[in-house]
Structure 1
Amino acid sequence: MADTTIIDSKDVMMAYLESGSKPDRDSWRIGAEHEKFVFHRSDNRPLSYAGENGRPGIRDVLKAFEDFGWKPVSESGNVIAEISGGASITLEPGGQFELSGAPLEHMHDICTETSRHLQHAKEIGEKLDVGFLGLGFHPTSSRECIPVMPKARYGIMRNYMPKVGSLGLDMMMRTCTVQVNLDFESEADMIEKFRIGLALQPIATALFANSPFLDGRNVGYQSYRSHIWTDTDSDRCGLLPFVFEDGMSFERYLDHVLDVPMYFVRRGGDYIDAAGQSFRDFMDGKLPALPGELPTMEDFQDHMTTLFPEVRLKTFLEMRGADGGPWNRLCALPAFWVGLLYSKDSQQACLDLIKPWTFEELETMRHSAPKLGLKTAHKGRLLRDVAKEVLDIADAGLKERAKLSTSGENESGFISSLYETVETGKTPADKMIDAMEDHWDGDVSHVFKEFSY
């Protein structure tokens, strides 16, 4: 339900951020999210929203989930999402499907939820002759060939993006990610987790690198998706240097949110274009798009969703630096971060590890990892070696949690695929490049058959 509380000072927004603190660690939950491309299996083309020439569209795929108990959400007469319990299936601008899972207690439940969803997707795919592909960047279709979804906010973003970066439209239309939402105990705990998340995000980018192709060719990047974010919108993306400074707090992050230009305001189901305008002006009743009006908490919450740093704070923390990928890595990503941040010992080990790292070194690593992956150099070592050390910390944290499956297994098995990556030095991107050069004869379209769910 919309929060229509009028914002007349920073206090109400501060209280909202502070409400995320959960001193009872037993109440902490894990929220897993992943995106995937949907394609016609006959020719690998992306689906339009309504379908054409007798072929199904994205709308048909969404509605097919209703056979499994999901309920539709509409905007201007168009089904744009499906909800079930605490989970949702939503549409990204280019028709990418996003599963936002329910907040769950442990990784075994996360894996069950993810597997059930993908099994349903496979059944729908058989029925409609469509496939689902987990990659960080669309391997073959140009931006112009990706159909646009009928969501009003995306129209505003499409108009604004070219004004602030050269790759924002590619981010919208051609990328997919996997991420996790995590709780924090207090403001101090939030700050520690925020710093660790930002510092180690390039390692997650390298471990999960899975987007080496652009327009049907090897583009020379391990994670072209991650590179896209470096030229999307500098106001709302990146590593946020102030997080590492003395004085970092909920209020410091709030000030950052208020300084980021707006996209839109919702009123009565309509999206009003406020792109580039100031939320601070809105608080003074001086927003050009709505002169004389003051914002509500719903407006503030909407605005927070339009910030895209590598780690994003709401009433929880979102880890945002990984490519979409194969089935087993959809569970590996949340397990990786849970192991690092849901154990006091592991969290302290991460703090000790990153303490000598300067922000300049983090920036260098952030810009190198998309291209070089695990071969990125950092303080005289390869990122592959640092990643092994970080994985050991995560593994210890997962074992310490001792969250057991019905068969008595802890959560550490969920990161086994990541250990394979550091041991072999082969990322998912490397494996696809090898396949292209080996038995695909340079034809990238084979990815739709060999790497779809």
Structure 2
Amino acid sequence: MAVASRLAVARVVQPDGGAAGGRKGRQGFAVVGLPAAGRRGRRRGGAVAASPPTEEAAKLTEPLTKEDLVAYLASGCKPKENWRIGTEHEKFGFDVETLRPITYDQISAILNGLSERFEWDKIMEENHVIGLKQGKQNISLEPGGQFELSGAPLETLHQTCAEVNSHLYQVKAVGEELGVGFLGMGFQPKWALTDIPIMPKGRYEIMRNYMPKVGTLGLDMMFRTCTVQVNLDFSSEQDMIRKFRASLALQPIATAIFANSPFKEGKPNGFLSLRSHIWTDTDNNRSGMLPFVFDDTFGFEQYVDYALDVPMYFVYRNKTYIDCTGMSFRDFMAGKLPQVPGELPTLNDWENHLTTIFPEVRLKRYMEMRGADGGPWRRLCALPAFWVGLLYDDESLQSIIDMTSDWTKEEREMLRRKVPVTGLKTPFRDGYVRDLAEDVLQLAKNGLERRGYKEVGFLREVDEVVRTASESIRDEVAAQRGPCVRGVVILIYTDIIYNFGGRWTRWTGSSDCIPIQNPVPNS
């Protein structure tokens, strides 16, 4: 059977319910706006399985080959007129009376409320609602209950920002009635790991048990971080290579611009992006800067070779997640997984496996930009504007390639390690990361101008950050409270909340004086 037809036969829905639409569906687009979001509609009452059982999916008539896996990635190539923009953003839910992280019961009430009022279909795992689906949008839960929207693939940044508005409007409408607020930051600013609830999702139990074996910060990554990601298309293997190299080199620059996680357990933590730092000691077998991307031989096949040897997390069979940690997908293709002896993988298994790899840029049938912290509303619109302006415009993309072509592996790794601490003030060659960021931001603006959709305004939010080398919330706290912050966590929750109303400023917590300690050297 030809590779293309075998791919068609084996194509099944991604498990975990969380990606059908935002991270998977890439054809066409939808305009999502506030008027529709505000409309109270009849309850759909639908539900979909969280993970379609592999045994019920169409099976290959022949075993998968490496060529099939390469062809799967290559099937993402599409002409420029079909390129779309996908945005994913996570946020922390909290009880507005106590500021404590919301429990699964509270999350379940929110999901049921959204389903009832705004016509979302529920995604179920066993008897638990663990997400929602509406068209090509999905709402899913991260391990600690972080609330994630995986947006639809959209044509313009105006549509993307309207989608963000729509989502935040909906969660506000339901959350208000339940006494729940949402916080846009990259790391949980107040609560310890032991305070975070655990979500009833089978794959997360496997990850939770495995993480301490491969790094010291994996559980923090799972339970206490939030990110914003942008998913973009490519036209060919060569286009993918150019975009991969440009975006991977620039991820530390994006981290610096969007850094927003300077607090831990109520105090400054010594980082501008603790979230980014956490990834350096989570699981280095599946994260990092992927130096092989800059090799002359890089292409779809080389990424497949890399992914084949990344240790697996699980195989999904008989409605159960089977722990396969430590084994490789290469072992699986050879029928050597002792957990499922003699069994061979499907493309569904391959697609699942690709979702468990976490480099700074991730390749599926599109590319994910993974370097930014979660943040307030305006930055949710600024991040896709940043990457679209750079990667969807040929002139800006070539300028980035020219700018970064002589950066060494050691320099890229240095930026990856130091930027989480010193941000835009990180020294680089004869200047600072801020100098690079100014140049890159101008290229992004130029690229957006040439697109012709009047999208440059979405970068206004980060213009000031780069111009002044601002350090985001930590600078805002210092500016408002001086050298001593009373109730620093109160300020975080009331100022960085997704602007859901003044009544959510109530808090009678500690008023202890907490000094703001700036780890960034003067420059």
- TM tier relative to shorter chain: over 0.9
State which of 48, 56, 74 in structure 2 corresponds to 1:18.
Answer: 74
Aligned length: 440
What's the counterpart of residue 242 of structure 2? 192
Assess, with a 3 A threshold, how the Cα gap between structure 1 residues 436 and 225 changes in structure 2: closer, same or farther.
farther
CA contact (8 A) 1:209 1:322 kept: yes
SS at match of 2:399: helix
What's the counterpart of residue 44 of structure 1? 99
Structure 2 unaligned blocks of 5 or more: 1-11, 14-56, 499-523
2:88 counterpart of 1:60: no
What's the counterpart of residue 397 of structure 2? 347
Deviation at 1:448, TM superposition (A): 1.1
Q: Greater shift after overlay, 434-443 or 124-133? A: 434-443
**What is the identity percentage for the equivalent residue pairs of Structure 1 and Structure 2?**
54
What's the counterpart of residue 441 of structure 1? 486
The alignment's C-alpha RMSD in Å is: 1.2
Q: Distance between the aligned counterparts of 1:362 and 1:101, measured in 2?
A: 30
2:439 counterpart of 1:389: yes
SS at match of 2:369: strand
1:19-68 deviation line (CA, Å, top 9, x unaligned): 0111x201000001100000000010001112xxxxxx111111111111
Q: Distance between the aligned counterparts of 2:395 and 2:64, measured in 1?
A: 41
CA contact (8 A) 2:477 2:491 kept: no
2:228 counterpart of 1:178: yes
Deviation at 1:268, TM superposition (A): 2.6
Q: Distance between the aligned counterparts of 2:493 and 2:317, measured in 1?
A: 41
SS at match of 2:64: coil
What's the counterpart of residue 286 of structure 2? 236
Q: Distance between the aligned counterparts of 1:435 and 1:171, measured in 2?
A: 29
Structure 1 unaligned blocks of 5 or more: 51-56, 404-409
CA contact (8 A) 1:61 1:124 kept: yes
Q: Which residue identity does 2:457 align to in structure 1?
A: G
What's the counterpart of residue 300 of structure 1? 350
SS at match of 1:226: helix
2:388 counterpart of 1:333: no
Matches within 5 A, 1:72-221: 72-221=122-271
Q: Distance between the aligned counterparts of 1:450 and 1:124, measured in 2?
A: 21
CA contact (8 A) 1:222 1:429 kept: no
CA contact (8 A) 1:140 1:445 kept: no
Q: Distance between the aligned counterparts of 2:281 and 2:103, measured in 1?
A: 27
What's the counterpart of residue 451 of structure 1? 496
What's the counterpart of residue 53 of structure 2? none
Assess, with a 3 A threshold, how the Cα gap between structure 1 residues 435 and 122 changes in structure 2: closer, same or farther.
farther
CA contact (8 A) 2:478 2:485 kept: no
1:301-325 deviation line (CA, Å, top 9, x unaligned): 0000000000000000000000000
SS at match of 1:246: coil
State which of 119, 125, 130 in structure 2 corresponds to 1:69.
Answer: 119
Q: Distance between the aligned counterparts of 2:280 and 2:481, measured in 1?
A: 28
What's the counterpart of residue 407 of structure 1? none
State which of 76, 90, 106 in structure 2 corresponds to 1:35.
Answer: 90
What's the counterpart of residue 332 of structure 2? 282
CA contact (8 A) 1:179 1:320 kept: yes
1:75-110 deviation line (CA, Å, top 9, x unaligned): 011000101110000000000000000000010000
Q: Distance between the aligned counterparts of 2:160 and 2:68, measured in 1?
A: 33
Q: Which residue identity does 2:93 align to in structure 1?
A: V
TM-score by length of 1: 0.95
CA contact (8 A) 1:336 1:415 kept: yes
SS at match of 1:196: helix
Deviation at 1:425, TM superposition (A): 1.5
Q: Distance between the aligned counterparts of 1:5 and 1:323, measured in 2?
A: 39
Deviation at 1:430, TM superposition (A): 3.3
State which of 414, 420, 436 in structure 1 corresponds to 2:458.
Answer: 414
CA contact (8 A) 1:218 1:433 kept: no
Q: Which residue identity does 2:198 align to in structure 1?
A: V
SS at match of 2:340: coil
1:334-384 deviation line (CA, Å, top 9, x unaligned): 110000000000100111110121111000011000000101111121111
Q: Distance between the aligned counterparts of 2:386 and 2:255, measured in 1?
A: 12
Deviation at 1:431, TM superposition (A): 2.9
State which of 274, 291, 295 in structure 2 corresponds to 1:224.
Answer: 274
SS at match of 2:93: strand
Q: Which residue identity does 1:201 align to in structure 2?
A: Q
Q: Distance between the aligned counterparts of 1:234 and 1:119, measured in 2?
A: 38
